Amino acid sequence: MSHAQSQHRIIAPRRESLRDALSERRPLTAMFSIIPAIPVVEMIGLAGFDCAIVDMEHGPLGIADLMPLMLAADARGAFPIVRVPDATPHMIGAALDVGAAAVLVPQVVSAETARAAVSAARYAPEGTRGVNPWVRAASYGGGTEWLQAENRNAAVMVMIEGKDGLAALDDILGVEGLDAIFLGPVDMAQSMGFPGQPEHEAVVAAIEEAVERAGRRGVGVAVFAPDAAGAARWFARGVSFVAVSEDTVTILGAFTTLRRECRP
């Protein structure tokens, strides 16, 4: 195949777009993964979670670790999301290049940062993402139709995790192209003076208010829940995306329960 032919090769689309699912407020479940292991990400998909959030902020992961984990999520029917360590443009672009369906940007406290994250995820004229049509996301040879498809499909979510983010929430919700905010009760509890108490009534009230404000602006909302009961409560409150627990604590809990049940 010639270079010219490769530029016009048809790129097979994803089975659907996570960005569309977020826009349509479809109920979605996810789990965070900080264990850099293909089988763990596969099992998140096999368990039926809609998304696997590969965590570069808290996990021992670099860009070189991402590609097999993106493949593992895709292979088992889960959208691969990368929580990048920060809003650095090259990091956002690199995560999308290896096949992330969305980037999740932590500790966003201003509309400027949210706007920069959206720009880093979009090709010109909508943004400033660097173009390389030979990366995995482009099936190693995408043409102009792929650039347009990627601008339509790559989702951007930003995390509101403290008092500063809540104070700037209305401005953040007004950022064009932002697909969802992600409310993090663990960090929020710390910021609000209730360390280790993500279920504190003041924290829950702050998140509920943020959910309502986002709903009025037509922006998607995601929330972290430590367990299934917490997830059910947030779904009942109108949240459409809940990230439930994390791979480490889930695996340890299963091991502990099994060992306890094995005692004579």
Integer Cα distance of 93 and 42 in angstroms: 24
Q: Is 102 helix (H, G, I), strand (E, B) or coil?
A: strand
90-93 contacts at long range (C-beta below 8 A, 24 or more positions apart): 90/130, 91/56, 91/63, 92/117, 92/120, 92/121, 92/129, 93/120, 93/121, 93/129, 93/130
Please tell me which residue in 3, 8, 58, 200 is annotated as part of the active site.
Answer: 58
- The reply to whether 200 belongs to the active site is no
Amino acid 50 reads D
Cβ-in-10-Å burial (0-12, 13-18, 19+) of 12 comes to: exposed
Neighbouring-strand partners of residue 54 = 33, 82
Cβ-in-10-Å burial (0-12, 13-18, 19+) of 146 comes to: buried
What's the residue count for the chain? 264
Which residues are tagged catalytic? 58
